Amino acid sequence: MPGVLSLRTTTTRNPTTPRGLGSAGSKLWRQVCDRYELDAHELLLLVEVAHGADRLEELRAAVAADGAVLRDDKGGPRIHPAHNEWRMTALALSKLLATLNLPADDATLPGVRSGRSRAASKAAKSRWREVNSGSPVA
């Protein structure tokens, strides 16, 4: 039918690692793809996350080589520009990872938690505090 968009969901099993990834990005790619079957849109997100992981490693290396605090033209201290870039990249990656919605506390992906899991964890902690404080739990 003309003018009707047909959307198909395709799942890719064990996709090829994209060219141009460094060691951190390749490792992340394999860890995710070896464990999960991702749809095409999820693979696009994962490519960006993998490149971001490589970028974080580059930024960490720059700060490690130069130090976190540099001196400006007048000799005053200033934060390494790579530190700020690292912070922004890490924030962007955390949002992309939350969008991928990988299971919380995945043993193959230490530290990766989905947004839903953080909310569930916060709610559980809140209920625990209420139970231990003697307040009724609804």
Positions in the chain short of pLDDT 70 = 1-13, 104-138
Predicted confidence at residue 103, as pLDDT, reads 73
Half-sphere exposure of 135 toward its Cβ, with a 13 Å CA cutoff? 8
Q: Is residue 120 part of a domain?
A: no
| 3 state DSSP class of 64 | helix
Predicted confidence at residue 124, as pLDDT, reads 56
pTM of the full predicted structure? 0.66
Whole-angstrom distance, CA of residue 52 vs CA of residue 21 = 10
The residue segments making up the domain with residue 72 are 11-100
Q: Is residue 84 part of a domain?
A: yes
Whole-angstrom distance, CA of residue 85 vs CA of residue 49 = 15
Predicted confidence at residue 136, as pLDDT, reads 53
Predicted confidence at residue 119, as pLDDT, reads 60
Q: Is residue 115 part of a domain?
A: no
Q: Is residue 126 part of a domain?
A: no
Q: Is residue 76 part of a domain?
A: yes
- Token duo for residue 14: 């064990």
Predicted confidence at residue 7, as pLDDT, reads 37
First vs last C-alpha separation in the chain: 52
Number of domains composing the chain: 1
